[in-house]
Chains A and B, each alone.
Chain A
Amino acid sequence: MIKLQDIERIFQVGDEEVHALQEVNMTAVAGDYLAIMGPSGSGKSTLLHILGLLDQPDSGTYELDNVKVSDLDEQQQAEVRRHKIGFVFQFFHLVPRLTAAENIELPMVLDGFDPAERKKRVATALEAFGLANRAGHRPDQLSGGQRQRVAIARATIMQPSVILADEPTGNLDRAAGIEVVNILEDLNRQGITLIIVTHDPALGNRANRKIEMVDGRIINGHG
């Protein structure tokens, strides 16, 4: 359950104030499948960062699973990110010196999971995402699709309630893109809220709901 109310985000660019987000209101219930769309500079990435607690709104409130996360301090927000939010990025953002398995394991390492439990979950995830024979490979030894599957495995290993995907297919060929979207939609069907930022209409149209943004405002689909 996500609830944004009157979110404002203002960036100072030189002397000018740029309203990246204005009067943004949105809600998403658990298991929703949303696409945030709009031209570049429309504020869709900023919205995603605020949803992911990587950026703070200048005003407005953000409620996630009935917790007013916009009021939490840095440490508590980190905790929320760790347990409730999974990120998937356009450029995968895998740690280059770590193997696929180690990349998937990383969130649990940061959380201080028991090593035995870590190994078990990693093995299950590798199997589930078809990466079992790629466990010991480093990112530069993997294809784009494989890298994004590792990233999705990493995003879901903590069993979050939301997955935020920023152009998840933007750096993949068609086949790999479709494969990745199928995986994400599978996860959504299992009950995870899926929010995808994209400017690709084909991808956006697959979502249950579309939020279109222009100049920092949501122009349709709020609710």
Chain B
Amino acid sequence: MHSFDMLLFSMKAATANRSRTILTLIAMTIGVSSVIILISLGDSARRYVVEQFSSLGSNLLIILPGRTETVGGPPPLLGETPRDLTLDDVVALTRSTAIRRIAPIVAGSAPVSVRQLEREMMVIGATAELLEMRHLAMSQGRFLPPGDPTRGTSVCIIGSTGRKELFGSRQALGQWLRIGDRRFKVIGILGQTGMSMGDDMGEVVIIPVASAQALFNTESLFRVLVEASSPDSIDRAREAILTIIRTRHDGEDDVTVISQGAILATFDRIFRALTLSVAGIAAISLVVAGIMIMNIMLVSVSNRRVEIGLLKALGSTHYQIMGLFLTESALLSLTGAAIGFLLSIVSIELAAVFFPEFSLQIAPWSLGFAFAVALTTGIAFGVLPARRAARLEAALALAQR
């Protein structure tokens, strides 16, 4: 029997019962498209996070006050901080050759007001180095002036959203605003940088770090960003940081140093694992669709007993009948897969139009994965009905009308 004739015969058989065909196709379509959509969403989320982190620069180290080991008592997330991380520590760190730039950060929330308009906003105390270390861009004016970080001047930089909320359409550059009970002069406005590490940079106010310490009445730094002099000297920089802090803090290792690369790798791993497990869950729906195909084919075999008996009487071999029924279930699952492909591609493209900031796109390997699982389940679950058909007693089947 020619394979084209086989295909034609199976196609006619598969489409003979319309509701049966449609139900099978729906099951397969849902299975395949959920695999593709879930994998693509997971993969897009992974790429989004990785991109966000890599935008921070690759030789970045972050110093957090406190230790990651627990120190007894109820387990705190970051140990205890017996000693603050201070601006003097930062000044001491700048002497290390392994460190190119260093940016101390104080962060907090404070009421920001212009005339009668008041907003609770995120206030970040920083130095001139932050601009380049976090790849910020200015749309107007300039960033914090370089100089002694311990001197606090009354200037500030505001984000684009904050500018709109506080000043409306009026000129903001050169105006004064009030943070808590202090007055600051707006010397710059940040460009559109979008989300960065979860903070919306559009809604922050950046002031000199010493001014922020005074504002929040604290000596302690929230964190310190350190840029190693080269990607190779990250480990040396880490050592230098730990040594310097240890000598300054009476021999105690009371800071935690994490590297950008390590965070990135961790997030990458987490998201890959998440995507895979989601793909696994979605694959279960494909297997369910496969079982549905099996049931439908089994019903079909018992409904078509006479036809199978006839095919045998006309001289079909065991293998021919198996081939016909396997082709039929493979056709059903592949057609379902094709519709699922279309459906998932269209929905991902649509979602990408509505949420452009998440850079949604189809993960190419999800197509291959879904296709392989669909074909395998279609054929694997087709084997049982096909064997049942091939083993049918022709004489018995033909005796019924």
Interchain CB contact under 8 A, A82 and B315: yes
B316 contacts partner chain A, Cβ-Cβ < 8 Å: yes
Listed stretches A31-39, A59-67, A91-99; interface member? A91-99
| A8-37 at interface with B (beta carbon < 8 Å) | none
Q: A109-B5, A112-B2 are in contact. Are A93 and B311 (CB under 8 A)?
A: no
Q: Tell me the bound Cα distance from A46 to B16 in angstroms.
A: 32
Which candidate, A71-79, A175-183, A185-193, A200-208, is the interface stretch facing chain B?
A71-79
Residue A54 is within 8 A (CB to CB) of chain B in the complex = yes
Nearest neighbor of A46 in chain B, beta-carbon distance = B395
- Asked whether B395 lies within 8 Å of A49 as measured between CB atoms, the reply is yes
Please tell me if the beta carbons of B315 and A79 are within 8 angstroms of each other in the complex: yes
- Bitwise, A69-107 to B at CB < 8 A (1) or not (0) is 000001100111111000101110101111000000011
A-contacting residues, B2-28, CB 8 Å = 2, 5, 9, 12-13, 16
Interface check B237, CB cutoff 8 A: no
Interface string of B379-401 (1 = CB under 8 A from A): 00000000000000011001101
Question: Considering the chains assembled together, what is the distance between the CA atoms of A158 and B315 in angstroms?
Answer: 11
Task: Give B257-314 interface residues, CB cut-off 8 Å to A.
Answer: 306-307, 309-314
* CB contact between A75 and one of B9, B12, B313, B318 (< 8 Å): that residue: B318
For the side of the interface on A, what is the size category?
Answer: 20 to 34
A111 and B316 alpha carbons, distance in the complex (Å): 8
Q: Report the Cα distance A97→B12, complex, angstroms.
A: 8
Within the assembled complex, what's the spacing in Å between the Cα atoms of A154 and B307?
Answer: 14
Please name the residue on chain A nearest to B3 by beta carbon: A112
Contacts of B5 in A (CB 8 A): 109, 112
State whether A81 and B314 are in contact (beta carbons under 8 Å apart), knowing that A109-B1, A110-B1, A111-B1 are contacts in the complex: yes
Q: How far is the CA of A110 from the CA of B9 in the complex (A)?
A: 10
Given contacts A54-B394, A79-B315, contact A95 B1 (CB under 8 A): no
Interface centre among B1, B9, B309, B317 (most CB of A within 10 A): B317
Closest CB in chain A relative to B352 CB, distance in Å: 43
B315 touches A93 (CB 8 A): no
Pair B317/A74 contact, Cβ less than 8 Å: yes
- Evaluate contact between A111 and B315: CB separation under 8 angstroms: yes
> Which residues A142-185 have CB closer than 8 A to chain B?
154, 158
Restricting to A102-137, which residues have a CB under 8 Å from any CB of B?
Answer: 106-107, 109-112
Task: Give the contacting residue for B310; candidates A55, A93, A111; CB below 8 A.
Answer: A93
Query: In the docked arrangement, what's the CA distance between A138 and B62, Å?
Result: 78
With contacts A49-B395, A89-B398, A93-B306 known, is A74 near B315, CB below 8 A? Answer: no
Contacting pair A107 B307 (CB below 8 A): no
CB-CB < 8 A to B309: which residues of A? 54, 93
Q: Judging by beta carbons under 8 Å apart, are B317 and A75 in contact?
A: yes
For residue A49, which residues in chain B have a CB less than 8 angstroms away from its CB? 394-395
Known: A54-B394, A93-B398. A110 touches B315 (CB 8 A): yes
Residues of B close to A80: CB separation below 8 A: 315
Q: Are A54 and B398 in contact (CB under 8 A)?
A: yes
Across the interface, name the chain B residue whose C-beta is closest to A109.
B5
Please give, as numbers and ranges, the residues of chain A lying within 8 Å of B12 by CB-CB distance: 97-98
| Contacts of B131-156 to chain A: CB distance below 8 A | none
Which residues does chain A contribute within 8 Å of B16, judged by CB atoms? 96-97
CA distance A80 to B313 in the complex (A): 10
A57 within 8 A of B: no
| A107/B315 in contact, CB under 8 A | yes
The reply to whether B317 and A107 form a contact with Cβ atoms under 8 Å apart is no
B13, B314, B395: which contacts A110 (Cβ < 8 A)?
Answer: B314
Pick 11 A–B contacts, CB within 8 A, sort by A: A45-B399, A52-B313, A74-B317, A81-B315, A82-B316, A93-B310, A95-B307, A97-B12, A97-B13, A110-B314, A111-B315
Give B residues with C-beta under 8 Å from A. Answer: 1-2, 5, 9, 12-13, 16, 306-307, 309-320, 394-395, 398-399, 401
Q: Which 4 A-B pairs have the closest CB atoms?
A: A82-B315, A49-B395, A91-B401, A81-B315
A-B contacts besides A55-B394, A55-B395, 19 pairs, CB < 8 Å: A49-B394, A54-B395, A54-B398, A75-B318, A75-B319, A78-B312, A81-B315, A82-B314, A91-B401, A93-B307, A93-B398, A95-B307, A96-B16, A98-B12, A106-B314, A109-B1, A109-B2, A110-B315, A110-B316
